[in-house]
Amino acid sequence: MPKPGGSRGNGPVAVLLVGCLVALGLAHSPASSPASHRRAAAQPRVAAPAGGRRPAARPAAGGGREQRRLGGRTRAVALTFDDGPDPRWTPAVLDLLHRYRVRATFCLVGEHVTEHPELVRRIAAQGHALCDHTWSHDEHLPDRPQATIRAEIDRTYSAIVTASGGVRPRYFRAPGGRWSPAVVAEARRLGLRPLGWSVDPADWRRPPAALITRRVLDQVAPGAVVLLHDGYGNRAATLAALRDILPALAARHLTATTP
């Protein structure tokens, strides 16, 4: 039996009770349940790059740990070729360099060295510099354990020495230009000079030859280190660009040499 006057006193209580029920209902709605929050947290937000396409996984060289320019030679530039040796493109590059009496630096991938040792011997015999570019071209090398970093560099170093007939590599280039103190330390342990670049025409994206040529000639200056590629895929555009770059450098009285 209700207490006298109880109906009048329960008005605010009823309103409060209804409010609490509404709040509880909202708190347990599917859009705001703990489970939905966990699902949302499990999906990190990633900003879409301009144009809706992700850039290629090759950051620019940097970090201040590697040589990016030549020193002490006012009219010299360095041409460097990454990712070979390749049985199709490397011989063609070597023929062009020989025609213009130019020496370059070849950053060699260990797996390719063991597949084509005769090309390594030819590179060395023609007076070009050899560069260790790791065994498997792992662009995440700085994230690997120290033992893995050492093995990637050491194994390639040994393969180059064997294939070349005893010529030791002078430089080391990190895949993708991704440097770390651990990577640099392992290179220097073998007496290798970390080598970066100052001119990147992005020929690894395979743009037209004319664009590669323009990018190089627009950026090149005395002391520049130019990044090009003779391995991992079709390098016809790079080869075609090189046919124009070499005489253009000579016309500017720039001597292409090793670092």
In-domain check, residue 146: yes
pLDDT tens-digit readout, 163-178: 999 999 999 999 999 9
In-domain check, residue 8: no
**pLDDT value, residue 66:** 83
CATH number of the domain residue 123 falls in: 3.20.20.370
**Which candidate, 157, 141, 148, places its Cα nearest to that of 190?**
157
Distance CA 219, CA 105 (A): 19
pLDDT tens-digit readout, 30-62: 333 333 333 333 332 223 222 322 233 444 444
Domain that holds residue 184: 76-257
User: For the residues 144-163, what does the mean pLDDT come to?
Assistant: 98
Catalytic residue set: 82, 229
In-domain check, residue 65: no
**pLDDT value, residue 20:** 37
**pLDDT value, residue 163:** 98
In-domain check, residue 91: yes
* pLDDT at residue 225 is higher than 60: yes
In-domain check, residue 95: yes
pLDDT band at 90 (very low <50, low <70, confident <90, very high): very high
Cβ atoms of 217 and 223 closer than 8 Å: no
* pLDDT at residue 14 is higher than 70: no
In-domain check, residue 27: no
How many domains does the structure of the chain reveal?
A: 1
Summary mean pLDDT of the chain = 81
Cβ neighbours of residue 171 closer than 8 Å, sequence gap 6 or more = 105, 107, 129, 130, 131, 132, 192, 193, 194, 195, 259
In-domain check, residue 116: yes
Paired with 78 in beta bridges are: 225, 257
User: For the residues 82-111, what does the mean pLDDT come to?
Assistant: 98
**pLDDT value, residue 73:** 63
* pLDDT at residue 86 is higher than 90: yes
In-domain check, residue 187: yes
